[in-house]
Amino acid sequence: MEKQTNGRPAGASDARPRAAADDCADCGPQGADTLALRVVARAITGKWKLEIISCLMDGPMRFGELRRALPDVTPHMLSAQLRELAASGLVSRAAFAEIPPRVEYALTEAAWALVPVLRELLAWARRHGRPDGLGVAD
């Protein structure tokens, strides 16, 4: 591209554009913004969380239903990921003290509010995401 192979624009190296990419005044590399983003990243980072959310987008599901819908997920992981999703407020857990026991998981309002953003992320991935250079193969 137009990237010069050499030649520093130089002198005023401190003349940062301050591109207004962040909206808070104090946003440094370790600012609150980045922190918050890491929280979100963490919330959906996990080998099966997106799959679980995707399932739950069709409506509430029980533990066994999720197991059947996601055959590759062990009970161990399903339980763990579900607990983490609940801890981050993305999934609600409704247990019924019956025989046999029944538990239903569903997306919270926060999760539903996140869905449109996820779809934008998806749109971005379709525009810019090349399968090359990424190792997402399990």
Partner DNA sequence: CTGTATCCACGGTGATACTG
Partner DNA sequence: CAGTATCACCGTGGATACAG
CA gap 79, 81 in Å, rounded: 6
Whose Cβ is closer to its own copies: residue 41's or residue 74's? 41
Minimum Å distance from CB 75 to DNA? 4
Using CB under 7 A as the binding rule, whether residue 80 contacts DNA is answered as yes
Answer for which of 64, 110, 115, 119 binds DNA (CB under 7 A) is 64
Using CB under 7 A as the binding rule, whether residue 129 contacts DNA is answered as no
CA gap 24, 130 in Å, rounded: 32
Binding mask 23-52 for DNA (x = CB under 7 A): ----------------------xxxx----
Whose Cβ is closer to DNA: residue 76's or residue 127's? 76
